[in-house]
Amino acid sequence: MKQLHIFLENKPGRIERITAILAEAEINITAMTIQDTGEYGLFKVLLERPNEAQTILSEKGFACALKDVLAVRVADRPGELNRMVALLNSKGINIKDGHGFPRPNNESVFCAEVDDLAAVERVVSAAGYQLFEG
Amino acid sequence: MIWKSDIEQMEKEPLQELQSERLRSLLKYLSESNAIYRERLAEVSDISGVDIQSIDRLPFTTKEDMRDTYPFGLFSSPEKDILELHVSSGTTGNPTLVGYTKEDLDIWADAMARSLAVAGAKPADIIQIAYGYGLFTGGLGFHYGALEMGLRIIPTSSGQTRRQLKIMQDFQPRILACTPSYALYMADEARDLGLNTRESSWEIGIFGAEPWSDSIRKEIEEVWNITALDVYGLSEIIGPGVAQECPEKNGLHVYSDLFYPEVIDPDSGEQMPDGKPGELVLTTLTKRGIPLLRYRTRDIVTINHSRCGCGRTSPRISKVLGRTDDMIVVRGINVFPSQIEHVLMEIEGTQPHYQLVVDRQKNNMDSLEVLVEVEERFFSDEIKQLRAFQETVREAIQSTLGVGVKVRLMEPRSLERSQGKSKRVVDKRQFNQKEDQ
């Protein structure tokens, strides 16, 4: 799954500049998270038409990059996240940054930045998980 | 007192005769002693007819000339006659090296003694010299002048603030010589110690080596209860002692029989009239070791040839109003934007938009911040890598400049541009405010 990472200074109004551009382009945002360092941060969004979104934001002068991230569908009930991360841990996979969001029908999506995504995707698929395709 | 009243109060015509005579012997000396000047002066027509009024027929000397001919290319004395060397920080290239013969050290002592007198010192006064002693010319320049005048010297050099204050209390010096920022820094320290700064023994402060405004003057005068005066100099010419402000506080007297000043349009090279800002150009009329002809200081000043209320006829220059290039002085260290560019080029292989922000913190120490726009082509999608980039830049700049910096990452196109280029330097230290001019 492609996640768009956008560099932002930590100042009021910055995120709105991005959401306004995406709204204008009628691109739907599925999920988002913000990673902050105090002075600056990364605004990370899962959205429709990520390539188009990146092109538009680049043209508007934003420093942004598409990052392939792990996005896995898990059941929305106690213990499921634990089961997922335990699996990754058992294979020595480190989660660098992550977030999650609920979906209809008692389902959640777990998103994580990991090294060697293809191998990780094979691990979770082999364990019976389905990847989230947007 | 006026240290060399016969010269410092000389009328215009005899002074011009003296200057012309000295200029002609300088040209002869340079042609005889220095290969670079010999070549350059050979191209000047009717050189024997040059006098001080037609000095503009002579070629300029630039900072680049000094760097390009490093170390000894512009020296005119044999190396064995150079008794003292001083080196100032440079850009990524060569530093600036200057050397003094015995005659030059005498000139320096004479010029600094004149400066001390201009500021109001008199023999047997006690002076606390809190400029750095060493490769920097500040400490030793004051020292030689003070010896020449017969002052009693406390050579504290810079730093060790509490000890400076104790020495002031114990020995009651009348004169303080240091950078203006250090005078303010000492005041903070004194307040922390519970001292009443207004009861200091200092009556006169001679401050230089960095630009400072009239509002800083007021602050220093108020806190220390002293008269705060500006001293101007540059190591290429002699060090401190090129010009000194008198208590009239209406310009700095230049010893024009030693260091002949011109103010020119930095682009056209044309002479500027009195009162109009331009680049200060100096000719060392009497130096032997490394005499310079029409040296472009890159300092922007105005000049005033009228007689001063203090009785001196020597021309006065204003405080430095700016620089012809972007050089900034941070904590006494010369910083060139080109150095930062160079570092960023080294790291990214490309030149991002950047901006230097210099500010003075509450403790009166200068801070330098480098703002770098994060551009698409070296944007990383991970915070960890952004931090690593930030740290790499910080370390590289710090080791190049020799001064601590903070690096701040900025959004693309967020820095102010003028004609497509980002504005390189923002100096928030409030020098050269309107009141100075």
- pLDDT for the residue B209: 86
**Residues B173-204: tens digit of each pLDDT:** 999 999 988 998 899 899 889 999 999 999 99
Whether chain B has a CB inside 8 Å of the CB on A65: the answer is yes
CB contact under 8 A, B411 and A62: yes
Q: What is the ipTM of this complex?
A: 0.74
Q: Which of A37, A63, A96 sits opposite B387 (nearest CB)?
A: A37
Task: State the pTM of this model.
Answer: 0.63
Rounded to whole angstroms, how far apart are CA atoms A98 and B380? Answer: 17
CA-based nearest residue in chain A for residue B387: A37
Q: Choose the closest CB to A7 out of B384, B408, B411.
A: B411
Q: For position B435, what pLDDT does the model report?
A: 34
Domain extents in chain A? 2-67, 70-131
Residue numbers in A near B383 (CB within 8 A): 35, 37, 41-42, 97
At residue B225, the pLDDT reads 97
Reading phi first (left if > 0) and then psi (alpha if -120 to 50, else beta), residue B157 is in left
pLDDT per residue over B288-324, tens digit each? 999 999 999 988 889 999 999 999 999 999 988 777 7
The strand pairing partners of A107, in sequence order, are A75, A103
Q: Which of residues 327-386 of B touch A (CB under 8 A)?
A: 374-376, 379-384, 386
Q: Give the SS3 label for residue B176.
A: strand
Q: Do B379 and A65 touch (CB under 8 A)?
A: yes
| CATH architecture of the domain with residue range A2-67 | 2-Layer Sandwich (3.30)
Q: How far is B436 from B432, CA to CA, in rounded Å?
A: 6
Which domains does chain B carry?
67-325 (3.40.50.12780), 329-429 (3.30.300.30)
Residues in chain A: 134
For A57, nearest residue in chain B (alpha carbons): B376
Structure tokens at B304: 């005033």
Tokens of B198: 């207004």
Q: Is A5 in contact with B384 (CB distance < 8 Å)? A: no
Distance CA B226, CA B310 (A): 19
Tell me if chain A has a CB within 8 Å of the CB of B408.
yes
A97 touches chain B (CB under 8 A): yes
Band of the pLDDT at B422, cuts 50, 70, 90?
A: low
What confidence tens digit (pLDDT) does each residue in A60-101 have? 889 899 999 999 999 999 999 999 999 999 999 999 899 999
Token pair 């598409």 is at which residue? A66
Fold classification of A70-131 (topology level) = Alpha-Beta Plaits (3.30.70)
Measuring CA to CA, how many Å separate A87 from each of A91, B207, B396, B414? 7, 69, 42, 44
Which of B425, B325, B364, B403 is CA-nearest to residue B89? B403
pLDDT at residue number B376: 72
**Cα–Cα distance, B398 to B410 (Å, whole number):** 19
Q: Which of B371, B381, B384 to mutate to test the interface with A (most CBs of A within 10 A)?
A: B381
**Residue in chain A lying closest to B372 (CA):** A9
**What are A120's two structure tokens?**
């990780």
